[in-house]
Structure 1
Amino acid sequence: HDELWTSHYALLELMLVAYREDRNVERVVADASELLDVRGDVDLVLAAASYVSERGMTPFDAIHAVAAEGSPIVSSDSAYDDVAERVPLEENDG
């Protein structure tokens, strides 16, 4: 077991715990990513963590915003207004 590693999903879990415990989400995720090899999309998690810390988004909203990669997001949640083009669900009723 010379090479210890984890997946980016562990970082997502740490992001959720840090958010719930009112910790500095960006710092927790960044520090954890430095401890050992992380396989998967680390940049996505780090970017989402910065949205949580700097823009006050929830972890899931932040992950969604980063994963959209600039594409419009269909949502009734105005949390996306500052980070992506939002297509309001209200316009799609009917």
Structure 2
Amino acid sequence: MDEKKHHRKHFHERHHEKSIGENSGYSKNEEELVCNFEICVFCGICGEICKKEAIAVDQINRIWNFNRNLCVKCGHCIRHCKVGALKFES
């Protein structure tokens, strides 16, 4: 498997969203982190700043992935997004 395919496979396996877990910051009817892809530049800062590794950005393929099971809704990603592409939305 070439390196790009291997990276993409690992990226998706690691950030595949599963059902809502007990330790997640989310319940079924709460707001969820969303990314406005019209302004996102896929810089990766949100993924780097996330201490729970709930966000992963594949800059090469311009993919933004979010795993709500890992998110504790601290808002660090929103505060550090330089273009304002992230917000909590119901």
TM-score scaled by length of structure 1: 0.26
Of structures 1 and 2, the larger Rg is shown by 1
Which structure shows the higher strand fraction? Answer: 2
TM-score relative to the length of structure 2: 0.27
